[in-house]
Amino acid sequence: MEFTRRHFFSRTASGLGIAALASLLPRELSAAKGLSGLPHFAPKAKRVIYLFQSGGPSQMELFDHKPKLQEMAGQEMPESVRKGQRLTTMSASQSSLPLVPSMFAFKQHGASGAWVSELLPYTAKIADQLTFVKSLHTQAINHDPAVTFLQTGAELAGRPSIGAWLAYGLGAETENLPSFVVMISPGSGGGGQPLYDRLWGSGFLPTRYQGVKFRSVGDPVLYLSNPDGFPAENRRLYLDALEKLNRAKLDDYGDPEIATRIAQYEMAFRMQSSVPELTDLSKEPPRTFELYGPDSRKPGTFSYNCLLARRLAERGVRFIQLFHRDWDHHGGLPEGLPKRCKETDQPAASLVEDLKERGMLDDTLVLWGGEFGRTVYCQGRLTKDDYGRDHHPRCFTMWMAGGGMKPGVSYGETDEFSYNVVSDPVHVHDLHATMLHTLGIDHTKLTFQYQGRHFRLTDVHGKVVKEILG
Amino acid sequence: MLGRVLCLLVVVMCASAEVRFNRDIRPILSDRCFPCHGPDAANRKTALRFDVEAGAKPAIVAGDAAKSPLMQRVISTNKTLRMPPAYLGHDRLPDKEIELLRQWIDQGAQWEKHWSLIPPKRVKVPGNGVDYYVRARLEREGWKPSPETARATLIRRLSLDLTGLPPTPEEVDAFLKDSSVNAYEKQVDRLLASPRYAERMAMRWLEVARYADTNGYQTDGIRDMYRWRDWVIGAFARNMPFDRFTVEQLAGDLLPNATLDQKIATGFLRNHRTTSEGGIVPEEFRVEYVAERAETTATVWLGMTFGCARCHDHKYDPISQKDFYRLFAFFNNVPEKGQVYNFGNEEPMIKAPTTEMSRKLENLDRELADAEREWERVQPQLAKDQRKWERNKPGEWSITRGLILHLPMDGAAAPLESVEGKAGAALRFDGAKELAAGAVAGFDYLDPFSIGAWIKPEAGDGAIVTKLEDYFEAEGYGLYLIGGKLQLVITKRFTDIGLRVETESPVTPNQWQHVLAVYDGTRYATGTALYINGVEQKLKVLFDDLNYPLGNKEPLRIGAGGGKRFRGAIDEVVLYRRALTPKEALAMPVLETVPGIAAMKPERRTKAQAAKLRLAFLEESAPAALKRLEEARLARKRFYGSIPTVMVMKESPGIRDTFLLKRGAYDAPGEKVTAGVPAVLPAFGERPENRLGLAQWLTDPEHPLTARVTVNRYWQMLFGQGLVKTVEDFGSQGEWPVQMELLDWLAAEFVASGWDVKGLLKTIVMSGTYRQSSRVTPELLERDPENRLLARGARFRLPADVVRDQALAVAGLLVEKTGGPSVKPYQPPGLWQELAGGSGYKQGSGEDLYRRSLYTYWRRTVAPPSMITFDAPNRETCSVRAVRTNTPLQALNLMNDVAYVEASRALAVRGGIGEMFRIVLSREPSAAEFAALQQAHDGFLSYYRANPGEAERFLSHGESPRDKSLDAAGHAARAAVASLILNLDEAITKE
Q: Residue A164 in contact with residue A452, Cβ under 8 Å?
A: no
Q: Which residues from chain A sit within 8 angstroms of residue B787, using beta carbons? A: none
Helix/strand/coil for A233: helix
DSSP β-ladder status, B645-647 and B435-436:
unpaired
> Mind telling me how many Å the CA of B877 is from chain A's nearest CA?
7
Distance, in Å, from the CA atom of A36 to the CA atom of A41, rounded to the nearest integer, reads 12
Per-residue model confidence as pLDDT tens digits over A234-259: 999 999 999 999 999 999 999 999 99
Q: Residue B393 in contact with residue B597, Cβ under 8 Å?
A: no
Phi and psi, residue B140, nearest 5°: -60, -35
Asked if the peptide bond before residue A39 counts as cis, ω within 30 degrees of 0, the response is: yes
CA B164, distance to chain mean position in Å, is 22
DSSP B128: -
**Long-range pairs for B600-609 at CB < 8 Å and ≥24 separation?**
B608/B534
Residues B10-14 have a mean pLDDT of: 41
- Give me the helices (H) in B128-194, please: 129-141, 151-163, 169-177, 183-193
Domain count, chain A: 1
**In the predicted model, is pLDDT for residue B10 greater than 50?**
no
Helix/strand/coil for B156: helix
Among partner residues A190, A250, A261, which is closest to B886 by beta-carbon distance? A261
ipTM of the complex: 0.88
Distance, in Å, from the CA atom of B830 to the CA atom of B840, rounded to the nearest integer, reads 7
Per-residue model confidence as pLDDT tens digits over B624-666: 999 999 999 999 999 999 999 999 999 999 889 999 999 888 9
- Candidates B678, B791, B766, B747; CA nearest to B147 is B791
CA distances from B702 to B122, B752, B755, B807 (A): 11, 11, 13, 44
Distance, in Å, from the CA atom of A270 to the CA atom of B395, rounded to the nearest integer, reads 85
Hey, are the CB atoms on B861 and A197 less than 8 Å from each other?
yes
For residue A231, is it within any domain?
no
Distance, in Å, from the CA atom of A365 to the CA atom of A399, rounded to the nearest integer, reads 11
Hey, are the CB atoms on B951 and A229 less than 8 Å from each other?
yes
Per-residue model confidence as pLDDT tens digits over B718-771: 999 999 999 999 987 888 888 889 999 999 999 999 999 999 999 999 999 999
Per-residue model confidence as pLDDT tens digits over B873-914: 989 989 898 888 888 999 999 999 999 999 999 999 999 999
For residue A7, is it within any domain?
no
Q: In a mutagenesis test of the B interface, which of A246, A451, A458, A460 is the best target, namely the one with the most B β-carbons within 10 Å?
A: A451
> Mind telling me how many Å the CA of B786 is from chain A's nearest CA?
10
DSSP B21: I
For residue A292, is it within any domain?
no
> Mind telling me how many Å the CA of B612 is from chain A's nearest CA?
44
**In the predicted model, is pLDDT for residue B77 greater than 50?**
yes
What is the model's pLDDT at position A30? 43
What is the model's pLDDT at position B9? 41
Distance, in Å, from the CA atom of B895 to the CA atom of A221, rounded to the nearest integer, reads 14
CA distances from A293 to A277, A305, A467 (A): 22, 12, 34
Residues B968-977 have a mean pLDDT of: 98
Per-residue model confidence as pLDDT tens digits over B292-305: 999 999 999 999 88
Give the list of residues 6+ apart from residue A374 with CB closer than 8 angstroms, or none.
A56, A57, A58, A59, A60, A329, A389, A390, A391, A392, A396
Distance, in Å, from the CA atom of B81 to the CA atom of B77, rounded to the nearest integer, reads 8
Handedness of CA B22, B27, B33, B38 (dihedral sign): positive
Round to the nearest angstrom and report the end-to-end CA distance of chain B: 25
Distance, in Å, from the CA atom of A411 to the CA atom of A423, rounded to the nearest integer, reads 9
Hey, are the CB atoms on B278 and A89 less than 8 Å from each other?
yes
Kindly state whether B337 is in contact with chain A, defined as any CB-CB distance less than 8 angstroms. no
Per-residue model confidence as pLDDT tens digits over B303-316: 988 888 888 888 77
DSSP B401: T
Q: What is the CATH number of the domain that holds A108?
A: 3.40.720
CA A260, distance to chain mean position in Å, is 30
- Give me the helices (H) in A13-110, please: 18-23, 27-31, 59-62, 69-72, 79-82
Q: Residue B605 in contact with residue B597, Cβ under 8 Å?
A: yes
What is the model's pLDDT at position B17? 61
Phi and psi, residue B908, nearest 5°: -65, -20
Q: Residue B191 in contact with residue B163, Cβ under 8 Å?
A: yes
Among partner residues A218, A235, A250, which is closest to B829 by beta-carbon distance? A218
Q: In a mutagenesis test of the B interface, which of A9, A142, A212 is the best target, namely the one with the most B β-carbons within 10 Å?
A: A142
> Mind telling me how many Å the CA of A125 is from chain B's nearest CA?
32
Q: Which residues from chain A sit within 8 angstroms of residue B956, using beta carbons? A: 228-229
**In the predicted model, is pLDDT for residue A6 greater than 50?**
no
Q: Counting one residue from A and one from B, how many pairs have CB atoms under 8 Å apart? A: 286
What is the model's pLDDT at position A398? 98
**In the predicted model, is pLDDT for residue A347 greater than 50?**
yes
Instruction: Grade residue A32 by pLDDT with cuts at 50, 70 and 90.
Output: low
DSSP A37: T
For residue A33, is it within any domain?
no
- Candidates B885, B925, B835, B814; CA nearest to B199 is B814
- Candidates B489, B472, B462, B485; CA nearest to B532 is B485
CA distances from B420 to B396, B434, B437 (A): 22, 18, 21
What is the model's pLDDT at position B835? 86
- B714-742 b/e (C-beta count within 10 Å ≥ 16 → b): bbbbbbbbbbbbbbbbbbbbbbbbbbbbb
Summary mean pLDDT of chain A: 90
Handedness of CA B326, B328, B330, B333 (dihedral sign): negative
Name which residue leads in pLDDT, A399 or B835. A399
Asked if the peptide bond before residue B348 counts as cis, ω within 30 degrees of 0, the response is: yes
CA A254, distance to chain mean position in Å, is 41
Q: Which amino acid is at B725?
A: K
Bridge partners, residue B493, by sequence = B497
Per-residue model confidence as pLDDT tens digits over A260-277: 899 999 999 999 999 999
- Other CB atoms closer than 10 Å to residue A313's CB: what's the count? 24
For residue A118, is it within any domain?
yes
Residues A152-168 have a mean pLDDT of: 92
Q: pTM, whole model, 2 decimals?
A: 0.88
Distance, in Å, from the CA atom of B674 to the CA atom of B325, rounded to the nearest integer, reads 8
CATH 2.60.120.200-classified regions of chain B: 397-592
- Candidates B681, B860, B812; CA nearest to B225 is B860
**In the predicted model, is pLDDT for residue A190 greater than 90?**
no
What is the model's pLDDT at position B7? 39
Q: Which amino acid is at B644?
A: P
| CATH match of B397-592 with 2.60.120.200 | yes
Distance, in Å, from the CA atom of B498 to the CA atom of B492, rounded to the nearest integer, reads 5
Per-residue model confidence as pLDDT tens digits over B446-474: 999 999 999 999 999 999 999 999 999 99
> Mind telling me how many Å the CA of A264 is from chain B's nearest CA?
5
Give the list of residues 6+ apart from residue A390 with CB closer than 8 angstroms, or none.
A87, A88, A90, A91, A330, A374, A375, A377, A379, B279
Q: Residue A197 in contact with residue A152, Cβ under 8 Å?
A: no
For helices A256-279 and A232-253, the axis angle rounded to 10 degrees is: 160
- Other CB atoms closer than 10 Å to residue B148's CB: what's the count? 15
Full domain range(s) for residue A192: 49-79+95-225+299-468
For residue A455, is it within any domain?
yes
Q: Which residues from chain A sit within 8 angstroms of residue B338, using beta carbons? A: none
- Other CB atoms closer than 10 Å to residue B869's CB: what's the count? 24
Q: Residue A309 in contact with residue A49, Cβ under 8 Å?
A: yes
Distance, in Å, from the CA atom of A292 to the CA atom of A310, rounded to the nearest integer, reads 11
What is the model's pLDDT at position A453? 78
**In the predicted model, is pLDDT for residue B393 greater than 80?**
yes
Beta strands per DSSP E along B369-496 = 403-407, 417-420, 425-430, 435-436, 449-457, 462-468, 476-482, 485-493
Burial of B105 (0-12, 13-18, 19+ CB in 10 A): buried
Q: Which residues from chain B sit within 8 angstroms of residue A245, using beta carbons? A: 929, 932-933, 980, 984
